[in-house]
Structure 1
């Protein structure tokens, strides 16, 4: 059912629900449960627009004749199609408390739980903060106190923690005993005021708000993905301008603590009190640093604060914590007495911080140099390789000896996936080095960068070739993809006078191009070579002043070999100073020719690797021909009962025969011909590399297409 048909049904259902809410149950002629079902189904499938959303909220926020089950069902299905408007939040908060027209205690409990679920997706993020005093004043209500404590625990900031509220909470706690939710809220207050003395310091899983219902989270995310609003959101949204809180299940012994500013006064400005970017910018110069600066490893707001307001004291505090922590972790690991979870959290935090700063802290470099030789190659692999991708390089040989070689040795022997991850790591390292080169454009740096990138790519080429030759072809798909990703990045990273054009060894390209049965691999190889051709075409002229003839000759040989292979039926052809025939020895080519012609006089080496007969492309080319043939039959109005269909494989000669014998008329190599059609057909199905290669190689082909 489309939206044009659904919306009137929803509005009709809302009208009926309003009438039912004013009519005693015994006087109704329509069953309320069926009306509620229509509204909830619409809300569950596509969310409620703001008009319908307000309508339902206003209905459940007052006392009516609707039964409790119907009202609870409506509240549980309040899925907004957009962010929740501030006035709706005010309406819900206004429904809480004692009063003649207030909804039932059960409904109020459901509304508070709903506020907890949507508190991060409100249009005006400060509306609950402004209503904090109203919510806090209702803690004496037994029916909603637990859920209210959970909500307040989530929205409490430094500015809300006042002496009179601390006093009220302590009095409530003494009067009620060890009520879990109240103890949880007191624990939040104690984070801001450590001097608060609690009667009991224990908390349980009931002390804090439980995670949102999985079904609710899944539905709200799905609704937003298809929502027409441009202000899409996620229930896990965090914009980096609020202190990051990870919830009550976080271990008290966590390696990286959350941000807390201790011993503050009512006039103090803290990171915990920041709610948005405007607030952060306005108060930056007055913000007091938190108690443990190491929280910046995981907290985006603290990272921004330290980056924008650096100081020697802050740097010293970080250095001391990292040096102490990492030395302790290294010694523990060396003695096989380490805490795996603790080390994981530290390394994950260091990696996140490295992603933010794009550098490695010197203490981390010292740790990695000592730790990598004893690393088992499996624990925290992603974090360690991620950290190594940001390693500063002055000499690739030195860095390889100290860091990369131990990492490779640790990874060796852990299966095929680790080989692919190793190549992925080198791709990340290449990307970081290229980014550094672009940002530091001076003569000395450029010369050093050229040498670093040359040494790096030479090593990866040797490593890739060794891995490909040592693994069975059928088992290396992931590794092959990783190698291709590396060269896709390398082929598009060159920048005249800054980042040189560095070719892969052509024997590796030829090895990859002959990967059995993979059209995707062949397409990506062609795309890589096409990108190199474009890079040389766009390079300042004359190219020979920048690159030796051996480099350009190597690429030209490869261009001709792939062109001969796919386009002009001269596969494996060796011509001195022009092509090497994929390093196929002329005697072997002659033997293959004799073998194929002995099977069928139509068979030939030259055509065996073209678009129609290539083992990787034959099935796709056949499907493309069927589409082209059907298109021509439709366009020319041929009689399908009498038309002669091509039996395949398609060749220049077979198309001429087909035309003479009553089939469709399609050129072999023209603007609308078979080969051009196949190129486009493959590109539309994810194999665009072959077309990209042909565009780069045949100068007039792009215009014909």
Structure 2
């Protein structure tokens, strides 16, 4: 971070500071009217806090890259604080490369070395990826400069591609290597060359931890990421991002412990076209049909470029090679787990690689299905849980009974016995599996209305949702309340997705069981009730927008069950008919009439104005009443201000709001607010606070309410 100078010496703005620095750079120190340290600190502080825009960066680089009257300390401080706020332009790159080398007008060798390191650091955010590639010959020609050779080798290691590896450059590198011995950075660059032409460069190159490009200063990296994210002017930063059209290199530390090799094409000749030589999307498309297969295709588990290549150029031979490698490795891991031994530390890497590849292709390899079928029986339910349930979420759409017997049953039993805290993840897994199956479902052909659940795909989806509803209800009734909160959220997330995903002729409207819906509706959490109402609002919209008549697609049992549940929720929150049962109209939350009468009698004994009907409404509901009170207070305050009432004389509402109390309030000197006005205000007020499910449910249920 830049030093702190006296604020009185600092220019008022960045533009003034840069202008002052330009003037100071051409003025001897004794003739300056302004102290240059204050100007430099002002620029560096702005760069640290907000980053430098393209024009300012270009101006500062032009000052740094020429011999000026500025002292070396100021130049070094400026160089260390060149934080770009956006992409680095090609002009900046050309200016820096042009400043390298020997010459009277060149900057000091220390400054040149710092600039080369800066180019290495900002390599990922250079606007034109080919800017440095076009200057490769210039950079390579400076390898004889001792002062910048190490940094230059690191930069060249990043930008070297097959097109850069020429016989004369190989010869020069070999001569330098023989003359200088095992200089680490030079040996690394030679190793890069050998990766492209292993048959030309004989022998082995010595490597050490100093052979590889050093990581940028962590503080500098963190600062530039923060600057660019705050500026929101670019989606790219120095945060280990990869463009997907370049072979992925993991670095020395990770590659030494990785069982998945990096992409290398062996026995390549000068005319070969390899993945290592691809640098951009245009380059990949242009050479797609001429690219040779790399040596070990299992690298596709982690390399995005190889994944794209195998997806666009499918090969039976390549698939066979991958299956052979995976089957051999995974069989060893399964046998170790089956015999009670610990699995290899590399199994995590393989499973995460498989999951990454599956997310990209949306296709689960058959060898992974075979392994999971056997491994789930001996799995401990903890190790690699995210990768395993992630892979299972891509099981192809098929009859539910087959999937349950082979995969889902063993998964549930393992988690229940060995990792009961993971039930929230189980519901999230079912959400992902359902989304995958819905994406794979094939639609009915257009024409005559086809009843829902008439196709195998729709029956499989219905069976999956019915099972999830059963599992959710069972878990909520059996688990202690301490584990319920994340589980309830996962269940609600599942139905929020499901209620908004129906597609006529493809994905039918799939409802939760009424027992589960009623359980959620009577939760002690207002967020849970709100989300449940929102889910039923989504279902109501789905039925309203479905092709008519509904009876041609869904049986009367399904529509009646939905209407019963909808009416029960509506009656409890909006009208005074909570727990009322009526034939083919409402179940009353499965409450027996005799029980409702007893409850009503008990509540009326407490207060003759009170009863079961009010107890479940918005104003009196124990989970919602505090919000209702706050909403009423905001409405009452607004009415007092609007009508200019005397706050000391107005009659304030004392208790829960009802239609009766509002009429009495108006007659006794209180604000004049209608019952419907209050309820609409309450719905909107709760929606503003995040509980929009109540409003969405009422607007979907009562057609003229929104207007």
**TM-score under structure 2 length normalisation:** 0.93
- Tell me the CA shift for residue 253 of structure 1: 4.7
Structure 2 residue 644 is the aligned partner of structure 1 residue 637:
yes
Q: 1:422 and 1:353 mapped to 2: Cα distance?
A: 22
- Tell me the residue number matched to 2:152: 148
Q: Indicate which of 196, 199, 219 corresponds to 1:192.
A: 196
Is the partner of 2:615 in helix, strand or coil?
coil
Higher deviation after alignment, 83-92 or 686-695: 686-695
Structure 2 residue 665 is the aligned partner of structure 1 residue 658:
yes
**TM-score under structure 1 length normalisation:** 0.94
Q: Indicate which of 489, 504, 510 corresponds to 2:512.
A: 504
- Tell me the CA shift for residue 385 of structure 1: 0.7
Structure 2 residue 87 is the aligned partner of structure 1 residue 83:
yes
Q: 1:482 and 1:195 mapped to 2: Cα distance?
A: 56
Is the partner of 2:13 in helix, strand or coil?
helix
User: How do 1:180-579 residues align onto structure 2 when only pairs under 5 Å count?
Assistant: 180-195=184-199, 201-227=205-231, 229=233, 231-235=234-238, 236-337=240-341, 340-415=344-419, 417-438=421-442, 447-516=455-524, 518-579=525-586
Q: How big is each residue's C-alpha offset from its partner over 1:209-248, in whole Å with a ceiling of 9 and x where there is no partner?
A: 233333333333333334364x432323323222222223
- Tell me the residue number matched to 1:3: none
Q: 2:212 and 2:454 mapped to 1: Cα distance?
A: 55
Is 2:297–2:322's contact at 8 Å kept on the other side of the alignment?
yes
- Tell me the CA shift for residue 660 of structure 1: 2.0
- Tell me the residue number matched to 2:52: 48
Summarize the Cα distance change of 1:342–1:89 in structure 2 as closer, same or farther, 3 Å threshold.
same
Summarize the Cα distance change of 1:63–1:384 in structure 2 as closer, same or farther, 3 Å threshold.
same
Q: 2:424 and 2:696 mapped to 1: Cα distance?
A: 26
- Tell me the residue number matched to 1:170: 174
Is the partner of 2:14 in helix, strand or coil?
helix
Summarize the Cα distance change of 1:445–1:310 in structure 2 as closer, same or farther, 3 Å threshold.
farther
Summarize the Cα distance change of 1:613–1:445 in structure 2 as closer, same or farther, 3 Å threshold.
closer
Q: 1:465 and 1:234 mapped to 2: Cα distance?
A: 46
Is the partner of 1:341 in helix, strand or coil?
coil
Summarize the Cα distance change of 1:300–1:446 in structure 2 as closer, same or farther, 3 Å threshold.
farther
Summarize the Cα distance change of 1:14–1:331 in structure 2 as closer, same or farther, 3 Å threshold.
same
Structure 2 residue 78 is the aligned partner of structure 1 residue 74:
yes
Is 2:537–2:700's contact at 8 Å kept on the other side of the alignment?
yes
Q: How big is each residue's C-alpha offset from its partner over 1:565-596, in whole Å with a ceiling of 9 and x where there is no partner?
A: 11113222222321122122223323322332
Is 1:473–1:515's contact at 8 Å kept on the other side of the alignment?
no
- Tell me the residue number matched to 2:608: 601
- Tell me the residue number matched to 1:98: 102
Q: 2:232 and 2:492 mapped to 1: Cα distance?
A: 38
Q: 2:37 and 2:442 mapped to 1: Cα distance?
A: 65
Q: How big is each residue's C-alpha offset from its partner over 1:503-533, in whole Å with a ceiling of 9 and x where there is no partner?
A: 11101111111222x1111111111111111
Summarize the Cα distance change of 1:407–1:7 in structure 2 as closer, same or farther, 3 Å threshold.
farther
Q: 1:207 and 1:276 mapped to 2: Cα distance?
A: 26
Is 1:437–1:445's contact at 8 Å kept on the other side of the alignment?
no
Equivalenced residues, count: 693
Is 2:373–2:406's contact at 8 Å kept on the other side of the alignment?
yes
Is 1:297–1:303's contact at 8 Å kept on the other side of the alignment?
yes
Q: Indicate which of 113, 118, 135 corresponds to 2:122.
A: 118
Summarize the Cα distance change of 1:701–1:482 in structure 2 as closer, same or farther, 3 Å threshold.
same
Is 1:13–1:35's contact at 8 Å kept on the other side of the alignment?
yes
Name stretches of at least 5 consecutive residues in structure 2 with no aligned partner: 1-9
Is 1:565–1:572's contact at 8 Å kept on the other side of the alignment?
yes
- Tell me the residue number matched to 2:633: 626
Higher deviation after alignment, 439-448 or 523-532: 439-448
- Tell me the CA shift for residue 199 of structure 1: 6.7
- Tell me the CA shift for residue 166 of structure 1: 2.3
